[in-house]
């Protein structure tokens, strides 16, 4: 059992892809029914699909939402527009193992961002080279991650076969 794209600590989610390897072939409806019965309270299994052994379902995109209070909407919309016009958005990361610092351009990962109805929504690509961290995106938009991370919800994960 594995999550295709484990969510960041503190981030809620409405869309996850759980890959379960079964020891024997089972009809999708039967697998769905059996797995649904085992889900903890508050977790809903939306569907079950049989995959070929070679199908790894790699995440390629993730979409996040953050509520914005109406008084901040104009300023956040300005920051989003400004961010999207940038060619680069470098952030510094520290490798936990080596403690070395490196610069990562998170702008290349952000495919869209918008503010609608006091809700900031952004989509970021997930590649073999990595992705942006939620806190990095918030900080790049001038939205202090330490104050807002716990309000972010991942609403969609797209996967490629």
Does 49 reside within a domain? no
For residue 65, the model assigns a pLDDT of: 97
What pLDDT digit, counting tens, does each position of 65-95 carry? 999 999 999 999 999 999 999 999 999 999 8
Q: What's phi and psi for 99, nearest 5 deg?
A: 65, 15
Does the residue 39 lie in any domain? no
3-state secondary structure of 127: strand
Q: Supply the CATH number for residue 82's domain.
A: 3.30.70
Say what the pTM is.
0.86
**Domains held by the chain: number:** 1
CB of 63 within 8 A of CB of 159?
A: no
CA–CA gap between residue 94 and residue 73 (Å, rounded): 32
Output the tens digit of pLDDT for each of the chain's 161 residues. Answer: 777 787 878 888 888 887 788 888 888 888 889 889 988 898 888 888 887 777 777 889 999 999 999 999 999 999 999 999 999 999 999 988 899 999 999 999 999 999 998 999 999 999 988 999 999 999 999 999 999 999 999 999 998 86
What gap in Å lies between CA 133 and CA 71, rounded to an integer? 26
Return d(Cα 64, Cα 11) in angstroms, integer. Answer: 9
Residue 1 inside a domain? The answer is: no
How many residues are given for the chain? 161
| Residue 66 placed within a domain | yes
Please indicate, yes or no, if residue 132 is contained in any of the structural domains: yes
Give the three-state DSSP class for 41. Answer: coil
Neighbours of 153 (CB within 10 A): 16
- Which residue range forms the structural domain that includes residue 98? 58-160
Is-contact 157 59, C-beta < 8 A? Answer: yes
Instruction: Give which of 80, 71, 67, 81 is closest to 155, Cα–Cα.
Output: 67
Indicate whether 51 belongs to any domain.
no
Q: What is the pLDDT of residue 161?
A: 66
Distance CA 73, CA 105 (A): 26
- 147, part of any domain: yes
Residues 107-120 have pLDDT tens digits of 999 999 999 989 99
């Amino acid at each position: 059992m594995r999550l295709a794209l484990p969510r960041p600590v503190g981030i809620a989610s409405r869309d996850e892809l759980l890959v379960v390897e079964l020891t024997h072939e089972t009809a999708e409806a039967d697998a769905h029914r059996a797995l649904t019965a085992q889900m903890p309270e508050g977790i809903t299994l939306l569907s079950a699909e049989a995959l070929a052994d070679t199908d790894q379902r790699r995440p390629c995109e993730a979409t996040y939402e953050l509520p914005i209070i109406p008084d901040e909407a104009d300023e956040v919309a300005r920051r989003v527009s400004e961010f999207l016009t940038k060619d680069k958005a470098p952030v510094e990361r520290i490798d936990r193992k080596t403690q070395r610092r490196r610069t990562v351009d998170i702008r290349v990962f952000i495919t869209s961002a918008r503010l609608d109805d006091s809700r900031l929504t952004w989509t970021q690509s997930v590649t073999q080279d990595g992705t942006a961290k939620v806190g990095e995106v918030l900080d790049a938009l001038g939205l202090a991650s330490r104050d807002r991370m716990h309000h972010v919800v991942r609403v969609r994960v797209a996967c490629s076969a």
